[in-house]
C-alpha cells in the first residue's frame, strides 16, 4: 500500500536510549491502548438486551422515517467497516510502539462497531446500496497514498463526523435502541481522535513541502466529497429531524480544536493540515443557510438546487 520499504525487525523499539527520550511523548498514546481495554463492551450482549426490551429496530416507526434511517445507518455501517480496515492498516504501518498499540486497540473497537451496526441495519430492513459519493470517499481514504493522509482522513474527518452523527441520532428519539447504543460508539470514537492528535504532528515534522501540499490537497478533496454526499442526504436528515447546519458547524469546530491540540502537542501543523478558517463559515452558510434553503435568495436556491441534482446524479452513476 505504501511505497516505503519496510525494515524488520525495528530495533529502535527496544533501544533503551530512544525509549527513554520519547517516553514522555508516548505515554498518552500507550494510555489510549489501555483505555480501549478498560472501556470495552460486549456488542452482541448489549444489542440483544436492547432488542429484547424494545423490540426489533423500526418497531412502530413511520415507514418514511424508517427508510431514511436505514439509508443513513447503511452509510455509517460501511464507514465502520472502512474504519476497521484503516485502523488495521495503521497498526501495521505505524513504527512507533505506543502509537501502534493505540491503533491496535482501535481495530477491536471498529470491528465491534461494524458487527453491531450490521446487525442493526439488517434487522431494520433490507440494506440499502451505498451511494457513489460516500463510496468514493471511503475508498479514497482506504487507498490513501501516505500514512499521514490516511491518519488525516481517518482521525480528522471520519471520526469527528461519526462522533457528531452518533450523538445527534442518539438524541433524536427516533429509536430507543439507538438512544442507548450510540453513546457507546461516540465514546469510542472520541477516544480514537487522540491517535491523530498525538501522532500526526510527528509525521508533519518529517514532511517536505511537496508531501505537506499533498496532504492538504488530499484533505480538501475528502472534504469536498463529504460535502457533496451531504447534498444527497438532505431530505433524509430533514425527515429524521436532524439539523445539518448545526452538525456541520459542530464538526468544523471539533476539527479546528483537534488541529489546535496537535499544535499544542508538538508544534505547528498548518503547513499540512487545513482548518476551517473564514472560508469554512461561508461554505456552511451556502450549503446549509441559516433559516433553511427556503429562506435563501432565489439565486442561492437555484444554484443549490442545481448542485443537489448534479450530486444526486453522480451518486447514482458512481454507486
pLDDT above 80 (res 25): no
pLDDT given for residue 281 in this prediction: 82
pLDDT above 80 (res 268): no
pLDDT given for residue 9 in this prediction: 54
Question: What Rg value do the Cα atoms of the chain yield, rounded?
Answer: 20
What average pLDDT does the segment 47-55 reach?
97
* pLDDT (tens digit per residue) in 212-249: 899 999 999 999 999 999 999 999 999 999 999 999 99
pLDDT band at 21 (very low <50, low <70, confident <90, very high): very low
pLDDT above 70 (res 32): no
pLDDT band at 110 (very low <50, low <70, confident <90, very high): very high
What average pLDDT does the segment 96-113 reach?
89
Regarding predicted confidence, which is higher, 194 or 53? 53
DSSP state of 195: H
CA-wise closest residue to 80 among 3, 181, 171, 218: 181
Distance, CA of 302 to CA of 311 (rounded, Å): 14
pLDDT band at 164 (very low <50, low <70, confident <90, very high): very high
Q: What is the pTM of this model?
A: 0.86
Average pLDDT, whole number, for the chain? 86
Distance, CA of 206 to CA of 149 (rounded, Å): 14
pLDDT band at 203 (very low <50, low <70, confident <90, very high): confident
Domains of the chain as residue ranges with CATH:
25-317 (1.10.620.20)
Regarding predicted confidence, which is higher, 92 or 198? 92
What percentage of the chain exceeds 90 in pLDDT? 59
pLDDT given for residue 23 in this prediction: 46
Distance, CA of 304 to CA of 281 (rounded, Å): 16
H or E stretch covering 220: helix 209-232
Q: Which residues contact 250 (CB under 8 A, 6 or more apart)?
A: 164
**Per mean pLDDT, which range of 99-108, 181-190, 266-275 is the poorest?**
266-275
Amino acid at each position: 500500500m505504501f511505497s516505503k520499504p519496510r525494515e524488520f525487525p525495528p530495533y529502535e523499539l527496544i533501544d533503551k536510549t530512544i525509549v527513554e527520550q520519547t517516553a514522555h511523548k508516548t505515554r498518552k498514546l500507550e494510555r489510549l491502548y489501555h483505555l480501549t481495554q478498560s472501556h470495552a463492551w460486549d456488542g452482541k450482549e448489549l444489542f440483544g438486551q436492547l432488542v429484547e426490551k424494545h423490540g426489533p429496530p423500526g418497531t412502530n416507526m413511520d415507514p418514511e422515517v424508517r427508510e431514511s434511517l436505514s439509508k443513513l445507518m447503511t452509510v455509517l455501517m460501511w464507514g465502520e467497516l472502512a474504519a476497521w480496515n484503516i485502523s488495521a492498516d495503521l497498526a501495521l504501518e505505524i513504527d512507533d510502539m505506543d502509537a501502534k498499540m493505540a491503533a491496535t486497540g482501535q481495530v477491536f473497537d471498529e470491528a465491534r462497531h461494524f458487527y453491531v451496526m450490521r446487525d442493526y441495519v439488517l434487522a431494520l430492513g433490507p440494506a440499502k446500496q451505498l451511494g457513489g459519493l460516500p463510496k468514493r470517499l471511503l475508498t479514497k481514504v482506504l487507498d490513501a497514498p501516505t500514512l499521514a493522509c490516511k491518519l488525516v482522513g481517518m482521525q480528522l474527518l471520519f471520526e469527528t463526523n461519526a462522533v457528531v452523527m452518533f450523538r445527534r441520532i442518539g438524541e433524536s428519539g427516533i429509536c430507543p435502541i439507538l438512544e442507548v447504543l450510540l453513546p457507546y460508539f461516540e465514546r469510542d470514537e472520541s477516544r480514537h481522535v487522540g491517535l491523530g492528535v498525538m501522532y500526526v504532528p510527528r509525521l508533519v515534522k518529517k514532511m517536505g513541502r511537496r508531501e505537506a501540499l499533498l496532504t492538504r490537497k488530499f484533505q480538501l478533496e475528502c472534504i469536498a466529497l463529504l460535502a457533496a454526499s451531504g447534498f444527497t442526504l438532505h431530505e433524509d436528515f430533514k425527515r429524521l429531524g436532524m439539523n445539518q447546519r448545526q452538525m456541520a458547524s459542530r464538526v468544523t469546530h471539533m476539527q479546528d480544536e483537534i488541529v489546535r491540540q496537535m499544535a499544542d502537542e508538538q508544534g505547528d501543523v498548518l503547513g499540512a493540515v487545513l482548518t476551517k478558517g473564514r472560508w469554512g463559515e461561508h461554505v456552511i452558510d451556502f450549503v446549509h443557510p441559516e433559516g433553511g434553503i427556503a429562506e435563501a435568495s432565489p439565486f442561492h436556491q437555484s444554484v443549490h438546487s442545481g448542485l443537489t441534482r448534479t450530486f444526486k446524479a453522480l451518486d447514482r452513476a458512481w454507486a
